[in-house]
Chain A
Amino acid sequence: MVSLLRNQKVRNALLQVLYVGSIAAMVLAGIVIARRNLADQGITSGFDFLFKSTGWDVNFSLLPATANDPYWWYFLIGIINTLFLGSVGLILATIVGTIVGLARTSSNDLARLLGRTYVDIFRNIPLILQVFFWYAIITHLPTPRSAHEAWGFLLTSRGLYIPFPNVGSAAFAAATVAVIAAIVLPAWLGRTSLLAQPIGQRRTIQFAAAAAALACATIILALGRLPDTPLLDFPALQGLNLRGGLRIPPEFATLAIAIAIYGGSYIAEIVRGGFKSVGTGQVEAALSLGLSPWRVFTLVRLPLALRAMLPILANQYVWLMKATTMGIAVGFTDFFMIVALTINHSGQTLEAIGILMAGFLAINLSLAAVFNRINKAIALKGNQLRG
């Protein structure tokens, strides 16, 4: 027996079995105990509850939602809310981060100082504190009666009201897709099928594609316009309440602002790092070829910096997506809050936690997949440049 334990192969096998076995045993024991405890409270395990109606409301949803809807529908709403808030926050954060990051790499001392101050302040204060802060600010805005108004925008404690086209929701969604296509299509075309064409023709085709997509969007909006209404619907006070326009609830606005500002400070650093990684040699080489500073920027510095940034940026985006779970601090019904509410109301603890894990795993994996593809596309371009 002792000599058997001294055998390396036996030892290795034993260690592996012990390790995996004890972890599996702990997980299984947890599940068994939890099932028994829940059964004592009259909760039967299983996923049947997904088809029961919830009996409670969500305060934000892009899909129609009532208290009669089943749980699975609510989970879907939650995921879509998370993705929506995440995407808005992500886009805003990227814009903020790019501006601040460029300021930080600028040759102007004042711009650098300004950028650095921004990063130092907002990076070093916890996100949740910033969320609380902005929520307090927004909920302390004046009531609709005495709202701040500017260019048709209204700031009130009940949310931000913005002018909105008078169109049906399906038409609006279709138009959004068309606008996204107008941005993505030229880039995609430039990457794949057109490489053989001379550059002037390529530009024309890309431009035509973008124009066609935008035209589609306009037509969809025109067709989907609600009868007998003006093109844009401005919010206005009617009685004690505001009518018209689009209301952005304070919770959503808070989170989008907080994620944009906090995430922006991180993205600014990534942008700065990306530009710093571009060697001065390459820039000097481009300048010595007689390219204008602007062309040096768009043709040399930006593409090289983007390649350096992308992997880190991908991690940051995944992080920002997960940061939407701060929603629970202000009562925004993101995916996590829906799960928490489900546990509260239905008691289906194990199932809900399982769905939570699966949901975030799916979000992470799909984001990672998207970024891997972009990364690969860019890396390919790099090879072509070299070859």
Chain B
Amino acid sequence: MEMVIVAPPAPGRLEDLRRRFFATPLQAVVSLACLTIMVFLVWKLLNWAVFSAVFTTSGGPEACQATAGACWSVIAARWRIIFFGLYPYEEQWRSALACVAVVVMTVLSCIPAFWTGRRIALVWGAGTGLFYVLMKGGVLGLAHVGEEAWGGLALTLFIFVTTCLIGFPLAICLALLRRSELPWISRTTGLIIDGVRSLPLISILFTFAVVLPFALPQWLQGDKLYRVILGSALFFSAYQAEIVRGGMQGVATGQEEAAMALGMRYWQRISRILLPQAMRNAMPATINQFVISFKETSLVVIVGFFEILASGNAAYGTGEWRFAYVEVYAFIAFIYFIFVFSLSRYGAFLERRMSVSER
């Protein structure tokens, strides 16, 4: 016997659209409202950013003032100060290269093959070292450029990377101390972590930049930049420590017992058994913390550093480009967006992948 299968008539394009957006009167209203908002915004944005915008510097600021659109010539004229701050003009290729080094380092550390303590330390050590040598110079025939001349994107990245580099090991130490069986150690550490977490980052940066010099002997004061990095690392580590501790709580107690029964000492248990598993558990939350702390590096502008936000202020703040603040902020926002968005997408991807592999 032969079966004849009659396919139901395929719903047409229009029918499909109707079902998705106009199924009920309420749906229709919502759809239309959203569509109107979207068309309006997209049109406004395109009109401002593309159709009526001025892109070249040839006309100077005057050409911009004649149009209602965006004045991208401010970026064309001032991109160097936004990216490099006050870094010497002839040496700015070094600053660019240093930024590339940090980006490569970040991308590498997102690859699972690098997720062992030694490899990740190697990548970050090499990346930061390269960045520092390129920026500071004084060796390999590179002219010396002091930290006070660093600025723009490079300074933002430097503060971020060093914050993580100091903050991450510190976070692990704090997490271990907090879960210590010795009551006084865990209590004191808990007090420090909770204390730092209850304070706003700005107040910590301010304390480290302005107040700390009073409380330190002369020889310990160091450069203001490094004090601020230390403060920011402390803040980072207080949050990251709780994330690491959460990851440790996710490791079965039997794991440590098995390691003990095999005769491993404390550090062997921690480094070979506990941490590798805990860090894996804590990975999505850790990336989220990196995202947050990258955004928060922008706060150093308040204690007077010339990072990308401050250099943006300078880019439009002086003289003829005074009117072009929206364009400059939009440009900086775009730079932040690229970094933060891709990192947080990656975190979300990782979280999905991990929750799938758990099943």
A7 within 8 A of B: no
Given contacts A20-B188, A33-B214, A340-B206, contact A133 B31 (CB under 8 A): no
User: Could you give, for residues 15-57 of chain B, a 1 whenever the CB lies within 8 Å of some chain A CB and a 0 otherwise?
Assistant: 0000011000001001100110110000000000000000000
- In angstroms, Cα B345 to Cα A123, docked, is 12
User: Could you give, for residues 110-150 of chain A, a 1 whenever the CB lies within 8 Å of some chain B CB and a 0 otherwise?
Assistant: 11011000001101111111001100110010000000000
Across the interface, name the chain B residue whose C-beta is closest to A318.
Answer: B198
Given contacts A349-B211, A356-B203, A361-B198, contact A108 B37 (CB under 8 A): no
- In angstroms, Cα B295 to Cα A3, docked, is 52
Which residues of the other chain, A, contact B344 by a CB distance below 8 angstroms?
Answer: 123-124
Given contacts A110-B21, A325-B203, A360-B200, contact A129 B332 (CB under 8 A): yes
Which residues of the other chain, B, contact A121 by a CB distance below 8 angstroms?
Answer: 337
Which residues of the other chain, A, contact B198 by a CB distance below 8 angstroms?
Answer: 360-361, 364
From the candidates B202, B214, B337, name the one contacting A124 in the complex (CB within 8 A): B337
A336 within 8 A of B: yes
Please tell me if the beta carbons of A128 and B188 are within 8 angstroms of each other in the complex: no
- In angstroms, Cα B329 to Cα A133, docked, is 6
Which residues of the other chain, B, contact A37 by a CB distance below 8 angstroms?
Answer: 214-215
- In angstroms, Cα B209 to Cα A343, docked, is 13
Please tell me if the beta carbons of A128 and B38 are within 8 angstroms of each other in the complex: no
Given contacts A20-B188, A126-B295, A126-B296, contact A140 B325 (CB under 8 A): yes
Please tell me if the beta carbons of B185 and A19 are within 8 angstroms of each other in the complex: yes
Which residues of the other chain, B, contact A109 by a CB distance below 8 angstroms?
Answer: 20-21
- In angstroms, Cα B203 to Cα A109, docked, is 43
Please tell me if the beta carbons of A132 and B309 are within 8 angstroms of each other in the complex: yes
Given contacts A20-B184, A121-B337, contact A33 B302 (CB under 8 A): no
Given contacts A33-B216, A34-B214, A106-B30, contact A133 B333 (CB under 8 A): yes
Which residues of the other chain, A, contact B326 by a CB distance below 8 angstroms?
Answer: 133, 136-137
Across the interface, name the chain A residue whose C-beta is closest to B316.
Answer: A136
* Shortest distance from the beta carbon of B302 to any chain A beta carbon, whole Å: 6
* Shortest distance from the beta carbon of A283 to any chain B beta carbon, whole Å: 18
User: Could you give, for residues 260-295 of chain A, a 1 whenever the CB lies within 8 Å of some chain B CB and a 0 otherwise?
Assistant: 000000000000000000000000000000000000
Please tell me if the beta carbons of A326 and B336 are within 8 angstroms of each other in the complex: no
Across the interface, name the chain A residue whose C-beta is closest to B337.
Answer: A124
Across the interface, name the chain A residue whose C-beta is closest to B177.
Answer: A19
Please tell me if the beta carbons of A19 and B184 are within 8 angstroms of each other in the complex: yes
Across the interface, name the chain A residue whose C-beta is closest to B181.
Answer: A12
B217 within 8 A of A: yes
B261 within 8 A of A: no
Given contacts A15-B185, A124-B337, A356-B203, contact A108 B295 (CB under 8 A): no
Given contacts A12-B182, A33-B216, A328-B202, contact A128 B30 (CB under 8 A): no
Across the interface, name the chain A residue whose C-beta is closest to B339.
Answer: A124
Question: Residues of A within 8 Å of B, CB-based: how many?
Answer: 52
Please tell me if the beta carbons of A357 and B195 are within 8 angstroms of each other in the complex: yes
B289 within 8 A of A: no
B145 within 8 A of A: no
B106 within 8 A of A: no
The total number of A-B Cβ pairs within 8 Å is 132
Looking at B217, B295, B301, which has the most chain A CB atoms within 10 Å of its CB?
B295
* Shortest distance from the beta carbon of A315 to any chain B beta carbon, whole Å: 10
B63 within 8 A of A: no
Given contacts A20-B184, A20-B188, A34-B215, contact A108 B298 (CB under 8 A): no
A323 within 8 A of B: yes
Which residues of the other chain, B, contact A129 by a CB distance below 8 angstroms?
Answer: 298, 309, 329, 332-333, 336
Please tell me if the beta carbons of B325 and A114 are within 8 angstroms of each other in the complex: no
From the candidates B38, B192, B199, B298, name the one contacting A114 in the complex (CB within 8 A): B38
Which residues of the other chain, A, contact B325 by a CB distance below 8 angstroms?
Answer: 133, 136, 140
- In angstroms, Cα B183 to Cα A54, docked, is 45
Across the interface, name the chain A residue whose C-beta is closest to B188.
Answer: A20
From the candidates B31, B195, B203, B215, name the one contacting A30 in the complex (CB within 8 A): B215
- In angstroms, Cα B302 to Cα A360, docked, is 19
Across the interface, name the chain A residue whose C-beta is closest to B23.
Answer: A107
Please tell me if the beta carbons of A124 and B217 are within 8 angstroms of each other in the complex: no
Please tell me if the beta carbons of A124 and B30 are within 8 angstroms of each other in the complex: no
A322 within 8 A of B: yes
From the candidates B38, B211, B332, name the one contacting A343 in the complex (CB within 8 A): B211
Residues of B189-245 at the interface with A, using a CB-CB cut-off of 8 Å, are 192, 195, 198-203, 206-207, 210-211, 214-217
B313 within 8 A of A: yes
Which residues of the other chain, B, contact A38 by a CB distance below 8 angstroms?
Answer: 214
- In angstroms, Cα B329 to Cα A185, docked, is 45
B341 within 8 A of A: yes
A208 within 8 A of B: no
Please tell me if the beta carbons of A136 and B203 are within 8 angstroms of each other in the complex: no
Residues of B37-96 at the interface with A, using a CB-CB cut-off of 8 Å, are 37-38
Looking at B199, B332, B340, which has the most chain A CB atoms within 10 Å of its CB?
B199
User: Could you give, for residues 320-359 of chain B, a 1 whenever the CB lies within 8 Å of some chain A CB and a 0 otherwise?
Assistant: 0000011001001100110011001000000000000000
- In angstroms, Cα B214 to Cα A353, docked, is 12
B120 within 8 A of A: no
- In angstroms, Cα B34 to Cα A113, docked, is 9
Given contacts A124-B341, A129-B298, A353-B207, contact A111 B188 (CB under 8 A): no
Please tell me if the beta carbons of B184 and A353 are within 8 angstroms of each other in the complex: no
- In angstroms, Cα B302 to Cα A326, docked, is 9
Which residues of the other chain, A, contact B283 by a CB distance below 8 angstroms?
Answer: none
Which residues of the other chain, A, contact B340 by a CB distance below 8 angstroms?
Answer: 124-125
User: Could you give, for residues 322-365 of chain A, a 1 whenever the CB lies within 8 Å of some chain B CB and a 0 otherwise?
Assistant: 11011011000000100110010000011001001100110010
13 chain-A/chain-B pairs, Cβ below 8 angstroms: A20-B184, A30-B216, A37-B214, A110-B30, A111-B30, A126-B295, A129-B332, A325-B202, A329-B302, A336-B203, A349-B214, A350-B214, A356-B203
A16-B184, A322-B200 given. 19 additional CB < 8 A pairs?
A19-B185, A37-B215, A107-B27, A110-B34, A110-B38, A114-B37, A124-B336, A124-B337, A124-B344, A128-B298, A129-B298, A129-B329, A132-B329, A329-B302, A339-B203, A356-B199, A360-B198, A360-B200, A361-B198
- B contacts, CB < 8 Å to A: 20-21, 27, 30-31, 34-35, 37-38, 177, 182-185, 188, 192, 195, 198-203, 206-207, 210-211, 214-217, 295-296, 298-299, 301-302, 309, 313, 325-326, 329, 332-333, 336-337, 340-341, 344
Which 7 A-B residue pairs are closest in the complex by CB-CB distance?
A30-B215, A110-B34, A322-B200, A34-B215, A126-B295, A16-B184, A124-B340
